[in-house]
Structures are given as C-alpha cells and as structure tokens.
Amino acid sequence: MAKTSQDKKAFHWSTKVSNQDEEKEEEPSSFNPCPQKINQETELPSPLARPKKLQTVTIAKFRSALLNALHKNRPSLLHGLGPRVVGTLFGSRKGHVHFAFQRNPAAQPAFLIELQTPISGLVNEMASGLVRIALECDKEVDMIKKVGSSRRILEEPVWRTYCNGKKCGFGMKKECGEKEWKVLKAVEPISMGAGVLPAEKQGDDDKEDGVANNGGEIMYMRAKFERVVGSRDSEAFYMMNPDSNGAPELSIYLLRV
C-alpha cells in the first residue's frame, strides 16, 4: 500500500508537470530554479525604449546647434554685462555727455546713453568732488497680468537724469552708430584715464551730431566699473580706483520706479 501511494503521488506530479509543458515550454528546473526573479533581473530593455533615448539625445543636440546658430546670427545676445565692466564717458567740447558700458574693450556697448548735460559742465562737477548720477525711469505695469515690464533695465529708452541730487534734463538710450564706435575703438587700448581726441573733418551731415559737433575735439574719460545688481529694477556702476582707497569718484545708478 505504501508503494502504491508513492506511485500515485509520483504519477500526479508527473501529470502536473506534463500539463504545464503543454501550455508553455520551460527550461529545466536545475538551470532555472527561480524563473520569475531571474527574468526580472536580467530582462533586457525593450526594443522600443532605445529609439526614445536616441530621440531625446537628438533633440538635445538639435537644440544646442540652434542656440549656437542664434548666437552667431544675433551678436546682441552676447552683450550681457558681468560684475566688472568698461565704462567710457565721452563727447565733444560743446556737445552732450555720452555714457557707454562694455563687457570688454573690444565688445559692442551693452548700454549707451546720451544725456542732455553738456560734457563741460560734468567735467567741472567732477573736478569739484565726487559725482553721483542717477538715471530714473517709470516702471510699466501690465494691468491684466499685474506684473512689471519684461524689458531689462538696460533696455529702457528714456531716463530722467539727476547729478548730485539736482535734476539735469533727460537721457536717451542710443544705438552704437559709426561715430560712437569710432570713438570707442580709438580709446580701446586705454584701460583707465582721461584726455582729448583730435578733431576730424566732418561733412555737412555731421554738423548737428552730438558726438563730433562741427568736427570738434572729443573729450573722454575711461575706467573700469564694478556693477552691482540690486534687483531687476535697480543697478549701480561704481568707478574702480586703481589704488583701492577712498570712495569712487563717479557712480551711476539706474532706477526703475
């Protein structure tokens, strides 16, 4: 009886295995004791997953190439200013003051403004002591979105001008034209200093030009400035003294109120 019972158990076990083999063929148990666990650990990625990864890499490369192309075709994107900039004050003896800030001496100015203040008056003001120039403009608010202007502060076109607390007209943002660029190229080798550029003969079309009025001499002052960003509505530029002693002789503040 014991032998018959064992045969029945063996028979039923063999039948069970046989039925499983008919439904799905499996590897011998001696080589795969835990089929489900091993399949989970050694399962290869789906063939559909690899194209998605390649697609992501391709999009990233395309985006990088597109940005590089935009930077090459639009040099203005590279005109951002860092914490140290080159500042140049210039203008003809009878003309207005021009301020230009550049990332480096060879770069196009990221900020160029013409003030109504005569350059001779500003020179006299600087000779008497420290000069603080404040440029103030109005903040445009989107009444629907209740947010401020998305324009960078260096892109504001019109400014109210104050010199040592006294109002002195308005300032207008300018594009760097041929004459302004000629002045900046002439003083490019100068890291810090002041002087006069010789007059050049001008045509009739240049008689009203603010930079070289009637072919007059160009006065300039050039120095390095430290740029401090207080917020998206305020920036300051402090002229750096070579001896690092005392307060800066010239400071320029941009405020959007």
Q: pLDDT tens, 1-51? A: 444 445 544 444 444 444 444 444 444 444 454 445 444 444 555 545 555
Provide the pLDDT for residue 78. Answer: 40
Q: 35-59 b/e with 16+ CB inside 10 Å = b?
A: eeeeeeeeeeeeeeeeeeeeeeeee
Q: pLDDT tens, 127-159? A: 888 899 999 999 887 655 555 567 899 999 999
Provide the pLDDT for residue 70. Answer: 44
> Beta strand pairing status for 111-118 and 147-148?
unpaired
> Beta strand pairing status for 111-118 and 166-173?
antiparallel
- Name the one residue in this structure whose structure tokens are 């307060």: 247
- Name the one residue in this structure whose structure tokens are 């800030």: 101
Classify the C-alpha dihedral 150-151-153-158 as positive or negative.
negative
Provide the pLDDT for residue 107. Answer: 95
Specify which residues 221 forms β-bridges with. Answer: 89, 194
The answer to whether 217 and 198 have CB atoms below 8 angstroms apart is yes
pTM over 0.75? The answer is no
Nearest of 170, 42, 181, 159 to residue 100 by alpha carbon: 181
Least confident of 6-10, 103-107, 228-232, 241-245: 6-10
The CA distances from residue 176 to 65, 142, 147, in Å, are 29, 30, 31
- How far apart, in whole angstroms, are the C-alpha atoms of residue 17 and residue 29? 11
Q: pLDDT tens, 63-82? A: 566 555 544 444 333 447 89
Q: How many CB atoms lie within 10 A of CB 16?
A: 10
Q: pLDDT tens, 180-210? A: 999 999 999 999 999 999 987 555 445 445 5
Least confident of 41-50, 167-176, 246-255: 41-50
Provide the pLDDT for residue 161. Answer: 96
